[in-house]
A and B are shown apart, each in its own frame.
Chain A
Amino acid sequence: MVPFARVALSNLFKKPSTRNFPRENVEAKPGYRGRIAYYGDKCRNCGMCVKVCSPGAITRTVTETPEGKDIAFEFDLTSCTFCGMCQDFCDEKAIELTADYHMAATDHKDLITSGVAHIRVPKGQLVCGEDCVYCTLCARKCPEGAITVDRTEKIWSVDHEKCTKCGTCVSACPKKALSFGE
């Protein structure tokens, strides 16, 4: 009890250690995963984020437009675990968990991050060029599992039914062998 007494008495004459929070804003520490920011211009609608999201907080609505598709993303922050998987899996850095933690709202809409990606869908179908070395990177990256590569038989094939023409494989190919044919 004596040490407590000493601490209590000395505290009486010290400045309080309380942060004057609402008046002075406090920044979160670096690496804090707060409110999700979504950059629609970077997104290419691969859908990886939707797949890895464990609480299913991301909804994707597709609208067909003349030049392609408008993909509306909604990140429901009241459903999010802030694990950061979507951020990690997004190759294009279109998703970012910012350090903004001010997520108290009376209106549910204030807790939804949304954005639209305007995607121009290529007309042609995915084809593989001569340069292919059958490295299987494209198959591994493909969010839909549409590409099959047999390294021993040296066969590259794509299931056009499954392919959404997102272009992940095209940018992943080290040899630039993939393209959407005319």
Chain B
Amino acid sequence: MSSFFQIIENIVKAMIFPGLLYATAGGLLLAGLDRKIIARMQRRVGPPVLQPTYDFLKLCGKETIVPHVANKPVFLAAPFVGYVSLVVMMLLIPIGGYSAFSGKADLIVILYLLTIPAVAMIVGGSASGSPFAGIGISREMVTMMAYELPLIIVFLSVAKLVGGDSMNFSLQDITAWQEQNGPVIFSLSMIPAAIAMLLIIPAEVGMQPFDVAEAETEICEGPLVEYSGFPLGMFKLGTAVRIFVMTSLFTSLFLGGITSGIHIGWTVCGVYVGDLLVRGLIHFAICAVITLLCMTFIHAITARLKIEHLFKFYWTVVAGLSLISLILVWIGV
């Protein structure tokens, strides 16, 4: 009987919190917020915060045209794989002190899981057979090569700071460490790594100025050029969830444990829910919005880079920043 309840509980986790519904709703809200904030930075009114939701719903209603050169099954399946893998990633990231399945994957697994949606987009675009998509996937891949180097260094420096002399890639342990010792970002040596991570997130989610792969003005949105209707909506949804996943990851890596002293809680039906609400959700929401604000700010003040400049930028400036952190942590500052 208990195993039955456990299955139900796990399904609820996967479907509602922190799974499908939470990830999707949060992602759509953050994406809408991004568009709203950037509009305000440009002195515009901007679209409503629910605009990404409208976009998705509208795309559901559109026809889907599969080009005759495309490989139909791959073309149609790719967006689903990308979206679902992102939702599953959300389950693996601890929220505040609460973790649904986060003990099941560590930082390096997360690093690799993050490539799945990108590969889904690449394969989908490639399957569409469009030459624009060909250029797009090439750029997407170069972007990926560019940011992966600094990203692994950032992860290593966090792991070293938290783990000390033992190996520790577990996100759960990193969160627990922050509950004890305060946020990672408060230690001086980690500030460059945090900046590097903030510069990596826009490339990861395909946001300006690092959206060379989906440049709609030069290469007609790259891999997405032939997508229409529901699959396109799935991709847009995936991008929204990716923003949420990345901001959550940043929060658990760098901004955890700020609210560790606060205990406001009450018991509902024998379950203590307050800590999750305050330390998990509210803290997460605020941190996610702050992270988003940084990204949007970069978005607002820059123009799109060229692909070779992007590569150089990540392998010199961003990798340099993260390397400074790693060396500082290594020598124990």
Direct contact of A and B (CB under 8 A): yes
Q: Is A12 an interface residue (CB 8 A)?
A: yes
Quick one: CB contact mask for A1-38 with B, threshold 8 Å, 1 for yes? 10011001101101111101000000000000000000
Asked if residues A11 and B297 are in contact (CB atoms below 8 Å), the reply is: no
Chain A neighbourhood of B297, CB < 8 A = 5, 8-9
Q: By the criterion of a CB under 8 Å from any partner CB, how many residues of chain A are at the interface?
A: 13
B38 to chain A, nearest CB (A): 9
Q: Given A1-B301, A4-B301, A8-B300, A18–B41 Cβ distance below 8 Å? A: no
- Give complex CA distance A17, B45 in Å: 8
Given the contacts A16-B45, A18-B45, A11 and B40 also touching, CB distance less than 8 Å: yes
- Interface check B68, CB cutoff 8 A: no
Asked if A11 and B45 make an inter-chain contact with CB atoms under 8 angstroms apart, the answer reads: no
Count of A-B residue pairs with CB < 8 Å = 35
Rounded to whole angstroms, the CA-CA distance of A16 and B43 in the bound complex is 4
Residues from 39 to 63 in B contacting A, C-beta threshold 8 Å: 39-46
Inter-subunit contact A8/B41 (CB<8 Å): yes
Provide the bound-state CA to CA distance between A79 and B302, in Å: 42
User: Are B43 and A17 neighbours in the complex by a CB distance under 8 Å?
Assistant: yes
* CB atoms of B41 and A11 under 8 A apart: yes
CB distance from A26 to the nearest CB of B (A): 15
A4 (CB) vs chain B CBs: closest residue: B301
B41: chain A residues within 8 A (beta carbon): 8-9, 11-12
Q: In the complex, are the beta carbons of A14 and B301 less than 8 A apart?
A: no
Cross-chain contact A11 with B42 (CB below 8 angstroms): yes
Interface size on B, residues (CB 8 A): 13
User: Per-residue 0/1 for A169-182: is the Cβ within 8 Å of any B Cβ (1 yes, 0 no)?
Assistant: 00000000000000
- In the bound complex, CA of A11 to CA of B43 (Å): 6
- What are the residues of chain B within 8 A of A14 when measuring CB–CB? 43
Binary interface encoding of chain A residues 63-99 relative to chain B, with 1 for a CB under 8 A from any of its CBs, else 0: 0000000000000000000000000000000000000
What is the CA–CA distance of A130 and B193 in the complex, to the nearest angstrom?
A: 101
**Min distance, Cβ B136 to any Cβ of chain A, angstroms:** 27
Give the Cβ gap from A24 to chain B, nearest Cβ, in Å: 13
Q: Which residues of B from 86 to 135 have beta carbons under 8 Å from A?
A: none
Shortest beta-carbon distance from B36 to chain A in Å: 11
Contacts of A20 in B (CB 8 A): 45
B37 partner residues in chain A, CB cutoff 8 A: 12
Bound Cα distance from A67 to B40, whole angstroms = 66
Interface pair A18/B40, CB less than 8 Å apart: no
Identify the closest chain A residue to B301 (Cβ). A4
Residues of A within 8 A of B42 (CB): 8, 11
Q: Which of B37, B45, B46: most chain A Cβ within 10 A?
A: B45
Q: Indicate the member of A8, A9, A16 with the most B CB atoms within 10 Å.
A: A8
Q: A11 vs B40: C-alpha distance in the bound complex, in angstroms?
A: 7
- Does the CB pair A8–B301 fall under 8 Å? yes
CA of A4 to CA of B37 in the docked complex: distance in angstroms? 15
B46 nearest CB across to chain A (Å): 8
Q: Which chain A residue lies CB-closest to B300? A: A8
**Among candidates B40, B43, B45, B301, residue contacting A5 with C-beta atoms closer than 8 Å:** B301
Pairs A–B under 8 Å by Cβ, sample size 9:
A4-B302, A9-B41, A11-B40, A12-B41, A14-B43, A15-B43, A16-B39, A16-B40, A18-B44
Show the binding face of A for B, using Cβ within 8 Å: 1, 4-5, 8-9, 11-12, 14-18, 20
Please provide the 5 A-B residue pairs with the shortest distance between their CB atoms, ordered closest to farther.
A4-B301, A8-B41, A8-B300, A17-B43, A18-B45
Besides A5-B301, A8-B42, 10 new A-B residue pairs in contact (Cβ under 8 A), listed by A number: A1-B301, A8-B41, A8-B297, A9-B41, A11-B41, A15-B43, A16-B39, A16-B43, A17-B44, A20-B45
